[in-house]
Structures are given as C-alpha cells and as structure tokens.
Structure 1
Amino acid sequence: MHIYATKKVMQAFKKAEKMTSGTIENMTILEESDSPEEQALFEWHINSVKVNQEDLLIVTHDLSGLTLLIVNADTEDLLDFYEWFEEALYDLLGKLGFSHKSIQQYLTYSKGRQLTLGKATDFKKIGRNSSAVSLLRQLDYYQENEYMVQSYWQYQTSRLNRSLKQASQPFTQFINEYEKVIGPVSFNVNMAEIEVRLKMGDLPDVIRVIQMPMQLTFEDLHRVIQKVFMWQDAHLHQFIMEDGATVISAEQKRSMERYQMESQAEASAASQLKLADVITPEENGIFTYVYDFGDSWEHRIRVRRFYSENRRMFPKLSLMSGEPVPENVGGPPGYADFLEVINDPTHDEHSVIKEWANDYFTRLNLFNDVNNFNHDLTVMHS
C-alpha cells in the first residue's frame, strides 16, 4: 500500500519517525515520489486540513475517490497511523458489506501489512483529495470530536467524491478494480426486515416494510424513513429504543449540549451508531421513531426477522400500505380534518386547503411508487 503525502504531512511523519529513533511500525518513508506499487488499486493520497475547528487527516483512494477520515491526529498519533488507517478502512468497506476476509485480502495482497509513504506530486490526484475536503465542508454539520474515525462522514464523502468524473460511482469503481486485481469480493451483510408503522389514531395506520442492512446507521434509517413516507426532513426527530435510550441527529445533539440540556446531551448521535450496535434478536426489537415534535408523528418500528446475504445490499422497500400524509397538517387529528375538507368540494375551506396541499398531491402522484422509492434508496447508498 502506498500513500502520497503533501509536504506538510510528510514533515509530520518524519517528525514522528524521529520520536521512535527508527521507523514507524508498518510504514516506510521514501524520499522519492514514485510509488513502488505495481497496481493503482493500492495507491492513496493524504493531506492534513482543518474543518470546523477540527484537525483532520483526509486519505483518498486515487482510482475511486473513496475517502478515509482520521480526526485530531497529532504527531504522537502518527506512530500508530497504520492502525488508524486499517480501522477506517474496515469501517468504510464494512458498511458496504465486505467480509472480513475480503478486507484483509486488500490490506495484505500487495506488500502485506506494510505502508510506504512518498511525496505527492500529481496535481490531478492531489485535486481529488482537495475535492473530498470541499465535500466535507459542504455537509450540513460535523460530528462529535471524540470519534477518531468519522464513520458517517467518510462514508458520505466517499459516496459523493467523483472529482475525476469516472463513469462509475466511487464504491462501484473500487469494487470493480478490486475484482479485476484480487478477485471476487465476498460479501457478508447482516440484514433486518423492519416494519415501520405510522400510528394514525382512528384512521388506518400507514405501513412500510423495509429491508435494512444492519451495518448502516440510525442516520441512514432516518433518511430511509423520510424517503418512503415522503417526509421532507424539515423537522427534528428522535428514536426511542425499547430500553429507553434515545438516538438523535448529531446536529441536534450538538445544539442540546451547547444549551446544556442534559437529557438530550446524553442521547447518542444517529450518524455514529450502527443499527447492529443496538438492535439484536434479544434487545430493541421494537422501538419508536418520532418526527416533528409539534405534529408528533409517531412511527412504531418492529423487527420482523434477521437474516444474512452474501451479496451487496441496499435498503429496499418491500411492502407499502396507505398513502403518505402531508407535512404540517397537525398530526393524526389534523390529517383527519384535512381529509374531511379535501373530500368535500362544498366545504367552505375546500379551495384553500386544496391550494395549500397542491405540492403534496403533485409529489404523491409522481413519486409514491415502490419502484421509484427503491431506485432512490439505491442511489442514496451506491
């Protein structure tokens, strides 16, 4: 494995090397810029940047644009850089469903568990690394700084980093090159079939059954629920687990901590918590997702079954019952009133409510379809 480093990062590694009076474990620092690797599959670029007051090492794969993030890596931490690199890679490829064996094959196929570090001189590839930095800065908010590997953001940045305008998405590009050089990727994806039931009071519940990879996060599950219920992600949300624990967005958690709201500060950040960390056959098989604390849309989530797949998997909607409801309608009681007015052309408020709901009905007619939802879910995670 070879990593091209900017001048700043190269100097930091050399400083760390002096601290050891020898060489950094699993790493050889080269004076020349050329890679000793024979395959571009094993070449990366690294830079050190500051994003939202956090010092980051950003490592990008030259061919695909996959991105690894390591936070607050000071000189002493660089002595264990291989461990951080390996942890970040396991986290990212694990979210794609790579088996432990396939990840280990990638790490050892070229030079064993060894990294070489050389000077970055290719401006085109340096630009790919810079584009990952730009993507990271464009994301809505940043995560808690106690996480050395920023799982969610390296996943999202990797998914979007197409600075060389390759035909394939970054994940697909990496998998294709892997299979060309090493052989077929073996996948091991733990799955859960979950029923999400929007409780509607006296009206029939709105139900969606989703196949969900367990290596994805609660933030991913939030986005999937938003998609298949046609919510617009315009309000706060939280998960309330069977054991009483709460899971909220990282942005919300950070705001609550800022205003010293202790109960919310103790909640977990959705983007840093994988489903498999919390949901098991023994625990949290039933929990709640609440969206919009004003209208209080309560979704009861029940795990129907656990199973595994040996292929790459995406979230998938397998069953839908009932139509999505409009935002800001006043919860289940407000929706009941909405239906009464919209279904009665003689009602005094019919024309006003119909105009107010025009966007909702347009989206309902265009997008409320299983195939459309599944196309969007695949795009979101490919």
Structure 2
Amino acid sequence: MQIALTKKLSKAMGVNPPAAHEYKNPLFSWTANWTKVWDNRRAEDMLVLVNNATRFTVAIYQVKRKDLKNVAKIMKTAITNTLLSMNLNPDLVEEYMQLAGEVEFTQNSNRQTASWVAKAGLECAFYVGNEYNGIAKMFSDTVGVSANYRIVNYSGNSSEGFYPYKAMIIALSELTGKQAYKYRAFELMITLDLEVYKAVRRIIVPADIEFVCLHKVLQSVFSWQNYHLYDFTIFGDNNRVAVARLVSFEEDLDYDEDAILMEGHILSEFFPEHEDMVYTYDMGDNWEHEIQLVRVIEEHDEESPYLLDASGQTPPEDVGGIGGFMSFREIMLNPSHPEYGAMKEWAKYWTLELADWKSRPRVINV
C-alpha cells in the first residue's frame, strides 16, 4: 500500500520519503494530509487520506504529533474500520488489506490528489464541527464516512459525477470477487400516532447500529431537525414495563439514576430479545415513536440504513405536541381561517401531505 504524504505531514513525521511511483492498481494508492479542524488551535489534529482510484475518504480525529510515530498502523486500522463501519463484507475488507500489503510512504507531488485530500479535509472538518463540541477528549477513525456520500468530480456535467463510497464498493468487489455486503440486519416498523392519522416508516438497519446513529436515521425519515433532547425506552415482552432507558447526555442521568448513557450501545443488545421500543423526541412536545421489530435478516446483502416505505406527514417542529398539531392542521386545512396566513408563514415549506420523494425507497444517508 502506497501512501503519498503532503509536505506538511512528512515534515511533521520527520521523514523524507522518496517520490511517489505509479501503482499498477491505483486502488492500493492513497494520499494523506494532516490538517486542522478548529481554527483556534495551533496544532493540526486530523489525518485525512483519499484513495487515488475512487476518492474514498478516511479521516482520523484526534491525532497529536506524538501519535505520528505509529502512523502507519493508525492509517491501516482506520481504512479497515471505515470500510467495516459502512457494513461492507468483512471478508472483502480483509482480502483488500492483505492484497494492499505493508505501508510504503512516498512524497506526494500530484496536484490533483493534493486538492482532493484538501477538499476531503474540509468536508470532514465540517462534520466534526457539527457533531462534536471540541472540548472533551475524543478519538475516532471513522469521521470520514460522511464525506463518501457527497458527489465528487461534478463540473456542470452530471454524468461525470460519482459517489466515492459507490466507486470503492464496485472496485473492491471487482478486485476480490466477493459480495459487497454481508451482515445481520433488522427490519423495523416505526409508528408516530398523531390521533388524526399515523405517520409510519418501515426501515432496514444494521443489527449492530449504535443508538446515536439510529437517532439520526429516525430524524431523517421523520424529517425532524434535531433541535431537542431524545431517549429510547425498551419494554419487556407482552407488557409495558420498561427494561431499560437510554439517554444521550450525562446530564440526563441526574434526572434518572437508572438510565443508561447510550454512547457505545447497539440495537442488538436489546433486539430481538425484546421487540418493543419507544423513541421519544422533544420532551416538551413528547413525540413518541413506537418501534417494532418486524424481522431479523441474518445475512443482509444490500446497503442500509434503508427506507422501505413511508406514509403520513410529520408535524412541524415546536407545534405544541399532538394537541397543538391538531389545531395547527385544522387551520392549514382551511385557507379562509383568519390565522391561516400567519400559520403558513410560520410553517414555511411544510405541507399537509407527505411529498412523494420522501416516501420512495432509498438509502438513508446520515
């Protein structure tokens, strides 16, 4: 595996690698840079790698100068973890890493790949900035995942653009001859009862999806804006006795000492042993989403999280719970109502009916 270093990174590592050479298969060739996430910090704190064949991004945050002595191992582990975090077949990932071989550092002199890795660094910095407060200590070698779902090589002609994750999957499948996906998954039915109708979403998610990620999936398919607190409550079979309640912040534990901090916990810890769960979003409006396990897919061979179907429009944020929504909906159904104009302006682009594109089957990118 050839990893071409930018001048900044090679200087920080204290090495003077040879010039990069052309690999027979550019799939084994990467370009790497060391960059900042936060403008108010002196030192760089994120390593970014871009694959020269597919523009697939791998990013590692936080990386300090002292960590660079083990950078080859850190990079290989990050490539593996990023691919696995996207639910790719572990056998496929293992074979790729074996075929790629040991890391060979070279000096990057390719302006195009240098621009690719710089752009990927900005994408990853935006992601970290949105997801993380930058105060507490954190290490993650999968923060590059989101960048791979953004179209690249787009210069006004849509036929030239492509998604890095799709390009990487195709390339790895052709290289190894193995299927791209092979993992355990759950089909879930999520119902938000609004009394006048029900908003229902049927999705497929990895069995080992973390609750923090499941929250993002639910926010996406129900068109919420992630403005408020949330939790997950798991119930025992055939009763409404809570088995566990998972919360997102340590401060939440002050109000419920029996709650569990959800960080690091995955769905398969509770499903399929239990089959009933409630996701509550916005403790003021109290939107309770009933989550039911429909089936277990032992060897799922397609991409997920995936929306199978959807029905029923979601209320706008901060409408005032079910009671507030019913009053709001009544006004929106009557253009002659004296409050219609004000409500329409407040609701902005909200519509009474769920848009067709929101109900179509699709991959859920979060």
* TM-score normalised per structure 1: 0.76
For each residue in 1:129-159, what CA deviation from the matched residue of structure 2 results, as whole angstroms up to 9, or x when unmatched?
A: 10011112333524376443243x3111232
Q: How well do the aligned residues superpose, as a CA RMSD in angstroms?
A: 3.6
Partner of 2:139: 148
Q: Does 1:44 align with 2:14?
A: no
Gaps of 5+ in 2: 235-242
What is the SS of the residue equivalent to 2:106? strand
CA contact (8 A) 2:307 2:364 kept: no
Give the helix-richer structure, 1 or 2.
Answer: 1
Of 212, 217, 225, 2:205 maps to 212
Partner of 2:239: none
CA contact (8 A) 1:195 1:301 kept: yes
CA contact (8 A) 1:64 1:174 kept: yes
Alpha-carbon distance between aligned partners in 1 of 2:269 and 2:72, rounded to the nearest angstrom: 29
Q: Does 1:34 align with 2:23?
A: no
What's the CA shift for 1:58?
Answer: 1.4
Alpha-carbon distance between aligned partners in 1 of 2:114 and 2:173, rounded to the nearest angstrom: 25
Of 291, 302, 305, 1:301 maps to 291
What is the SS of the residue equivalent to 1:141? helix
CA contact (8 A) 1:199 1:206 kept: yes
Of 172, 184, 188, 1:178 maps to 172
CA contact (8 A) 2:51 2:57 kept: yes
Partner of 1:22: none
Alpha-carbon distance between aligned partners in 1 of 2:99 and 2:154, rounded to the nearest angstrom: 26
Alpha-carbon distance between aligned partners in 2 of 1:345 and 1:68, rounded to the nearest angstrom: 51
Partner of 1:281: 272
What's the CA shift for 1:121?
Answer: 1.0
What is the SS of the residue equivalent to 1:208? strand
Partner of 1:13: 13
Q: 1:147 to 1:267 in 2, by over 3 A?
A: farther
For each residue in 1:149-196, what CA deviation from the matched residue of structure 2 results, as whole angstroms up to 9, or x when unmatched?
A: 243x31112322726765321011112222343434442132111121
What is the SS of the residue equivalent to 1:326? coil
Matches within 5 A, 1:59-74: 59-74=49-64
Q: 1:57 to 1:274 in 2, by over 3 A?
A: farther
Partner of 2:237: none
Alpha-carbon distance between aligned partners in 2 of 1:373 and 1:274, rounded to the nearest angstrom: 29
Q: 1:322 to 1:310 in 2, by over 3 A?
A: closer
Code of the residue aligned with 2:6 in structure 1: it is T
Q: Does 1:137 align with 2:125?
A: yes
Partner of 1:3: 3
What is the SS of the residue equivalent to 2:363? helix
Q: 1:380 to 1:147 in 2, by over 3 A?
A: same
Partner of 1:292: 282
Alpha-carbon distance between aligned partners in 1 of 2:183 and 2:346, rounded to the nearest angstrom: 38
Partner of 2:230: 238
CA contact (8 A) 2:92 2:176 kept: no
Of 183, 186, 195, 2:189 maps to 195
For each residue in 1:33-80, what CA deviation from the matched residue of structure 2 results, as whole angstroms up to 9, or x when unmatched?
A: 123732100111111122124711112212222222223334553344
What is the SS of the residue equivalent to 2:105? strand
CA contact (8 A) 1:235 1:293 kept: no
Q: Does 1:117 align with 2:110?
A: no
Partner of 2:148: 158
What is the SS of the residue equivalent to 1:34? coil
What is the SS of the residue equivalent to 1:313? coil
Partner of 1:84: 74
CA contact (8 A) 2:169 2:180 kept: no
Alpha-carbon distance between aligned partners in 1 of 2:341 and 2:97, rounded to the nearest angstrom: 59
What's the CA shift for 1:362?
Answer: 6.1
Q: 1:282 to 1:330 in 2, by over 3 A?
A: same
Alpha-carbon distance between aligned partners in 1 of 2:326 and 2:344, rounded to the nearest angstrom: 14
* TM-score normalised per structure 2: 0.79
CA contact (8 A) 1:178 1:185 kept: no
CA contact (8 A) 1:247 1:269 kept: yes
CA contact (8 A) 1:102 1:185 kept: yes
CA contact (8 A) 1:5 1:120 kept: yes
CA contact (8 A) 2:36 2:125 kept: no
Partner of 2:365: 380
CA contact (8 A) 2:311 2:359 kept: no
What is the SS of the residue equivalent to 1:73? coil
What's the CA shift for 1:96?
Answer: 2.7
